[in-house]
Structure formats: C-alpha cells, structure tokens
Amino acid sequence: MALDDRTPPQTGHGVAVLVELPKHAGLSGTLSYRAATPLPVGQLLRVPLGRRVVCGIAWGDEGPLADARATPVLDEGAADAPVRRDVAEVLDALPPLGPGWRALIRFAAAYYQRAPGELALSVLPADLRELDTAALQRRLRRLDKRLGRTPPPAPKRRRGAAAATTAPETPVEPGPEPLPPPVLPDLSEEQRLALDALADAAERADPVLLHGATGSGKTEVYLRRVAAALDAGRQALLLVPEINLTPQLEARIRARFPGRVTVALHSGLGPAERLQNWLAAHLGWADIVLGTRMAVFASLPRLGLIVVDEEHDPSYKQQEGARYSARDLAVWRARQEGVAVILGSATPSLETWHNALPSPEGTGRYHRLGMPTRIGAGALPQVRLVDLTRLQEQFGRQMLRDQPFAPPLLAALRDRLERGEQSLVLLNRRGYAPVLHCPGCGWKSDCPHCSAWRVFHKLDRTLRCHHCGFAERVPRACPSCGDPDIQPIGRGTERLEEQLATALPGARIGRIDADTTRGKGSLEAQLAQVHDGDIDVLVGTQMVAKGHDFRRITLVAALQADAALFSSDFRAPERLFALLMQAGGRAGRDAAQAARSELWIQTWHPQHPLYAALTAHDYPAFAAGQLLERQQAGLPPFSHLALLRCEARTQESAMAFLAQAARRAAELQTQQPAWADILVYPPVPPSVQRVANVERAQMLVESPSRPALQRLLAAWLPSFQDDARQAGARVLRWAVDVDPLAI
C-alpha cells in the first residue's frame, strides 16, 4: 500500500532479522525492522511478528531510514504494511552469534534447502527463544553460581526501538589455567604415531579419518588431542551418535579434565539444563562440549577441535525438519574455521572411506590413519558362522522354529556360563514378536492407522505400532473369527530373553532395549549391573552394540542378520557389516580374555562375501567390493541424491503432487542443458506407505554432479509452494531430503 503525504517519514536504522519461518511458508528470507541505532550482525533480539513477540537474529544492516516512502516494506512479509515495526528488545546480555556460526547456518540452509531463519532459530535452545532480558539475566546469574564465577555487572535493560542500541562485542574469556596433567596410560606405538600425524594435520586443518579397530584406543587419542586444544586456550567439540549409549565417555572426560568445564548438549536434557549448557558454550566458559548431532550447531567462540566418534553411525543424520548430516557439517565447519576435525570409526562410512582413499581410487580429501591393533595386543574376536541350512537338514525345520539357538551356539553359551564369563546376544528387534496371527482365518495384528503390523509386547500385554504409537490390549480371541488360539510369529528381544531363561536355567539374563530403558536412570542402572558382573547373558538391540566397554564379555551372538543382505536399501550391507563388527568388538576387550573371544553369527548364507570379509576382520576388502558395486550402479559416493517426500490425505494426491513436480523439473532441464544428466525417477510409495492415517509418496533425484543438483533444487523448490496451495488440503506436507540415508 502506498503511503500518503500525511505519513511521517520513519527514522532510525533498518535491520534485517531472521525469524523462524519454514521455507514452505513462502517467506524464506529476512524481515525488516527498525532500531534506534545500528545493531551488530548476529545479535539476538525480540521482535513483533503478527500478534506475537518472537526471538530473532540480526542478520544484516539496512542503513539509516531517512524516508519510509523510499524503503521496501518487508514487515511480516505483508506487501501492504505501511511502516516497519520496531525491534521490541535487544538481548544484549549475550554477545552476538559469531561469524563462524552464521556461516554454518547459511551453508546448511542452502545445502539442505531450508529457510535460514527456520534452521537458525530451531537449533537454539527452546527456552532461549522465549526469554526476555530480565529472564535472561536471571538465567545468567544461575549459570554464574553453578560455575562458581563472579558475575559481571548487569547491562542496563533496554526496550523498544528507542532503546535498541548497538550491543558491543563481549570479549570472550579464555578457559582456566591448565591444571597439572593427570596420570596417563601408556600409549601403544600405533597411538603415538597417530598422535604425531594428528598434530601435523592440525597445523594444516586437514580432515583426518582415524580408522581404528574396536578396542584399539581411539578414545585415548581423542582425549590427548582435546588436551592439546585446551592447553592452547581453545574449546573442543566431541560428537557421539547417541549420548545415552556412552555414559562412560562423559564420565571419563570429566575425570580426565578436572577443573575444566564440560557440558553436554543432547535431546535428553531438560530445557533449563540445555539452555545453561548452551550459554556456557556460547559465552566461552565451557571448555569441552559433548553432544549428539544437534551439538554441531553449538556456538563456540574459541573452537579448536572437532571429534566425530563412530562417524559411520546413521544417527548423525537428522530425519525430521532440516535433514542435515552432523558429520558432514562438522567437516565443513572445521574447514571453514580452520580447525582440526577427527572422524573416528572401526567401520567408516563408504563416503568417508572414499574421501580418504588416494586418487584415483578415491578423492584424497581426507588423511587416513590406521590403528588396526587392540590395546595390549589383544586378539580380535574369532568369527564363527553357523550354517542354518545344514542344521535344518540335520535337525529339521521345526527345531529351528522353536529354538532360536543352534545347538553349537547354545553349547558355547553354556561354556561361558560355567567359566563365569559374560555373553551378549544381539537381536535388532524389540518386543516379544513382530506380529500376532490367527492360524484359523489368517488375521494378523495390523495397525488400523498405518500400513504396518503392530508388535506384540508380552510384558504389558499390548499390541503396539512402532510407527504411530497406537496401542491396544491383546485380544482374548481373534477379532475376525473368534478363535482363541492366536499365536506370535517371529521373535523380538522380549521373547528371546524368555527363551534364554528356559535354555540356560539358573543364568542371570538381562535385557537392554528401548522398552527397558524408558525410565530416567534405567539405562545407567542396567549397564552398571553388566559391569559389576551381575548379569551372565545380556540380550539387546543395536543399543548395546557400540560405545560400551564391557570387560567381562567374551562371546557375542548375532541372530537374524541375513535380512539386510537382500534389502532394497543399497546401504543395508554397509550398516550390517558395521553393526556386526561393532557388536563383535564388545567381546574380548580385556586383553587377558581376548584369545577366547568369539563372534557367532547364525546365517542361511555363510558363503556371502560380507561374511567372508567379516571373518577376516577385513574392512578394506569389504569397502572395496561395495564401492565397486556402487560405481557400477551409479550410487553414492559416485552420484548425488535427493529424495522429495510428500504426505497427503490420499495416495493419489501425493502421487499427483510429485508427478507435477517432475514435470516442472523437466521444464527446467530443457532450459538448462547442464542439468540434462540429472535423473528424476517416477514417484513411488515408500515401504511403509501410510503412517497415522497419512499417505506418503517419494521421488528420487540422482545427479552425477553435486553442484548441478544443488542448482536444480534451488530453482525447482520455489514452485512447490504454488503446487501445494493449488492442491489445497489434499497435500499436507512436502520436504526434500538431500543425501538421504534410506530409499
């Protein structure tokens, strides 16, 4: 709306502000506000948005406002807004978010095709986004008290446009003076060589792949490099796949660096604790930040080192909202800020391995260091394959259905029990049975809201959908024909625990999975039982296969591993190899017992190349075979993928939306010959087509060039909002997943 001559000109300073607006809202940039004086870029603010006052980040200086009639009006994206609105409050008790953090947000938003404001605000603590100046001051005083610091004088509170003045760059205080070094374990020759090479790589800020066998002492190498960063007055960021699975690491870090401030950042923290830890990192008071994927966005003004432990783990990829890879962002952030990054794993992701191979086999972008030997020269577990085909011929099919353990494996478990040693049984499926069925009429426990089965949980007698959460009591008889003889099909960890107790009378059986670790402190209590020797046989899912230092376990048994060998997901073999190798690494971590440590795998396909490489503990051979297959098939890392997802009221609406998107992509490709090699596959439903009464469809985009794919997505995605609006209520959501983990 044009201003008439009676509208007084605006004065003050224009400031571009990021607020949390999703890309599909049609407002993916900054909004314009007015402040009394210039504000530093990165300053946290509170600004009016509609009827609310929300948190924002100053993202640019638009200069003096001499005359509103000559200035584009961007207030709330409304073209007819007569004037800019004033900044409500400047949160100048905090220093601005630094240039390194802002560069990370810009890159991540562009690469993963999200709105910068949506990403920037979503990675800040939820409590921080709700605080005004007075509340923030109270939180800072609590943090001072918790850390034993003398709080600085509180700045004068300022409200509104008249008070919105420049917030000076707050000097970042260095960490405390180094304490006398703790008593350190002796290093192996491999550890010493790795540390020397890491010191050289740190000078050049080269990404390093630390390829170390399970039990080779990678953690000690990490901590030595952390100590070097702290001695230089810098901060260290340690990323782990799942913080709840590695309580030993957090305890070890705190014991190793007494007097240093160590904070954790992960979704398991309460809102208040997460805010306090984030503030400690942002103010430079925290020396070490230990966290899950979200911690890659921590504001660290004196960052000096990034470690990504178990870098291959799929947990580093966010699966909702902005589907970013924390591992990839860690590498980018380290390069951008000129600091060292260490990617550690016994089974690296194939993308990382390819980047660490010299040209022409790989890209040569990463420096690779090997630590193939266990500490104390302990042996890696011997891999024993149990051929189920032969056992079926010998004992019959019914025996294998009724008994989950082959006789040789059961004998090995009894042998460990008699010796007073521990065993671990891995079955990556929780619950009692995947499905209940009626042999009379064929009824199965399907979910009424999803195209999936409800899992039978015997302990609480429920049928529970692991996709939408819908649960009901187990019926007394078949809902279809009334037959009371409904039976479980297959087995999960709950049933396996029961069968183990029958097969090994007197054995102390424990179970760790998502069902047994819901309560606060329950995981820690169960892990303590394992470490104290109060459990003879531990049954668990992938939760127990990584990150744990079980000293008494000498046997690991993996059941039902074959399904991944023939999955439609091209990454399934890579995940299976990593899971089995990591699980086997829980055995024989005590060098005195390593010689008799074993990994047993029951399989119908003992001649499969994956098992041959696993038996030899030969990850390079496995990776070479997989990379060759992927190169021949044109799959990552030799191509680059994006997955367009749509959720709608009906499957027809979802497919129609994606079909229209494919037509728009074809139009763009005719206009840009450089995009002609990009393949847009026809839309298809995913394996689980319906979840919570919402139909889903997906469409794969494949490109031999990463830059070409990014340019196409940037030009293509703006049209989706118009298509979604035209579809009305039929299309609920759409999203793009760059570098998807599963197809």
What would the pLDDT profile of 299-324 be if each residue is shown by its tens digit? 999 999 999 999 999 999 999 888 99
Parse the chain into domains and list their residue ranges: 13-163, 189-376, 378-431+492-632, 433-490, 640-738
Position 172 confidence tier, pLDDT thresholds 50, 70, 90:
very low
Q: Which residues pair with 696 in a beta bridge?
A: 647
The continuous run of DSSP H or E covering 675 comes out as none
pLDDT tops 90 at residue 25? no
Q: How far apart are CA 435 and CA 446, in angstroms?
A: 8
pLDDT digits (tens, 9 = 90+) for 213-249: 998 999 999 999 999 999 999 999 999 998 776 667 8
Q: How far apart are CA 56 and CA 67, in angstroms?
A: 25
Q: Please enumerate in sequence order all residues whose Cβ is within 8 A of that of 169, keeping only pairs 6 or more positions apart, or say none.
A: 40, 95, 96
Query: What is the arrangement of strands in the sheet containing 462-464, beginning at the earlier edge strand?
Result: 455-457, 462-464, 471-473
Mean pLDDT of 701-726: 91
The answer to whether 312 and 352 have CB atoms below 8 angstroms apart is: yes
Which residue's structure tokens are 């007698």?
461
pLDDT tops 90 at residue 157? no
Greater pLDDT, 336 or 4: 336
Helices (H) and strands (E) in the chain, counts: 21, 29
Count how many residues are written for the chain.
Answer: 743
Alpha carbon separation from 507 to 417, 510, 511, 537, 593 (Å, rounded): 7, 10, 13, 7, 21
The answer to whether 575 and 581 have CB atoms below 8 angstroms apart is: no
Q: What is the pLDDT of residue 180?
A: 60
Tokens of 713: 């997505």
Tokens of 609: 């190349």
pLDDT digits (tens, 9 = 90+) for 375-397: 887 788 999 999 999 988 887 77
Q: What is the pLDDT of residue 686?
A: 93
The continuous run of DSSP H or E covering 263 comes out as strand 262-265
Greater pLDDT, 101 or 203: 101
- Phi/psi-derived region of residue 126, left when phi > 0, alpha when psi is between -120 and 50, beta in every other case: alpha
Position 27 confidence tier, pLDDT thresholds 50, 70, 90:
low
What is the chain's mean pLDDT, rounded? Answer: 88
Q: How far apart are CA 401 and CA 502, in angstroms?
A: 15
Greater pLDDT, 524 or 271: 271
Does this model's pTM top 0.85? My answer is: yes
Mean pLDDT of 353-371: 94
Q: Please enumerate in sequence order all residues whose Cβ is within 8 A of that of 89, keeping only pairs 6 or more positions apart, or say none.
A: 45, 46, 53, 132, 133, 158, 159, 160, 163, 164
The answer to whether 211 and 368 have CB atoms below 8 angstroms apart is: yes
- Percent of residues, the chain, with pLDDT higher than 90: 68
pLDDT digits (tens, 9 = 90+) for 260-285: 999 999 988 899 999 999 999 999 99
Tokens of 585: 């690494």
pLDDT tops 80 at residue 58? yes
Alpha helices by DSSP H, 442-514: 493-503
Residue 292: closest CA among 257, 325, 321: 325
Tokens of 625: 């075979």
Q: What is the pLDDT of residue 178?
A: 53
Position 81 confidence tier, pLDDT thresholds 50, 70, 90:
very low
Cβ neighbours around 460 below 10 Å, total: 10
Q: What is the pLDDT of residue 63?
A: 76
Q: Please enumerate in sequence order all residues whose Cβ is within 8 A of that of 170, keeping only pairs 6 or more positions apart, or say none.
A: 94, 95, 283
Mean pLDDT of 685-707: 96
User: Do the two domains 189-376 and 378-431+492-632 of this chain adopt the same fold?
Assistant: yes
Q: What is the pLDDT of residue 246?
A: 66
Q: What is the pLDDT of residue 101?
A: 97
Cβ neighbours around 251 below 10 Å, total: 11
Tokens of 421: 């040693």
pLDDT digits (tens, 9 = 90+) for 404-454: 899 999 999 999 999 999 999 999 999 999 999 999 999 999 999 999 999
Could you tell me the fold of the domain covering 13-163?
A: GIY-YIG endonuclease (3.40.1440)
The answer to whether 198 and 205 have CB atoms below 8 angstroms apart is: no
Tokens of 401: 């259905």
Could you tell me the fold of the domain covering 189-376?
A: Rossmann fold (3.40.50)
Q: What is the pLDDT of residue 22?
A: 57
Q: How far apart are CA 662 and CA 352, in angstroms?
A: 31
Q: How far apart are CA 130 and CA 52, in angstroms?
A: 11
Q: Which residues are annotated as a binding site for Zn(2+)?
A: 438, 441, 447, 450, 465, 468, 478, 481
Could you tell me the fold of the domain covering 378-431+492-632?
A: Rossmann fold (3.40.50)
CA dihedral 674, 677, 682, 685 (to 10 degrees): -100
Q: What is the pLDDT of residue 140?
A: 94
* 598-603 and 382-387 beta bridge pairing: parallel
CATH class of 640-738: alpha beta
Position 480 confidence tier, pLDDT thresholds 50, 70, 90:
very high
Q: What is the pLDDT of residue 165?
A: 37
Q: How far apart are CA 488 and CA 453, in angstroms?
A: 12
Question: What is the DSSP secondary-structure string of 329-371?
Answer: HHHHHHHHHT-EEEEEESS--HHHHHHHSPTTTS---SEEEEE
CA atoms within 13 A on the CB side of 157: 9
Q: Which residues are annotated as a binding site?
A: 438, 441, 447, 450, 465, 468, 478, 481
pLDDT tops 70 at residue 202? yes
Position 68 confidence tier, pLDDT thresholds 50, 70, 90:
very low
Comparing 56-70, 367-381, 485-499, which segment has the lowest mean pLDDT? Answer: 56-70
Position 6 confidence tier, pLDDT thresholds 50, 70, 90:
very low
Report the Cα–Cα distance between both ends of the chain, in Å, rounded: 48
Q: How far apart are CA 698 and CA 734, in angstroms?
A: 10
Q: How far apart are CA 133 and CA 62, in angstroms?
A: 25
* 31-35 and 13-18 beta bridge pairing: antiparallel
Q: Which residues pair with 423 in a beta bridge?
A: 537, 555
Greater pLDDT, 73 or 524: 524
Position 83 confidence tier, pLDDT thresholds 50, 70, 90:
low
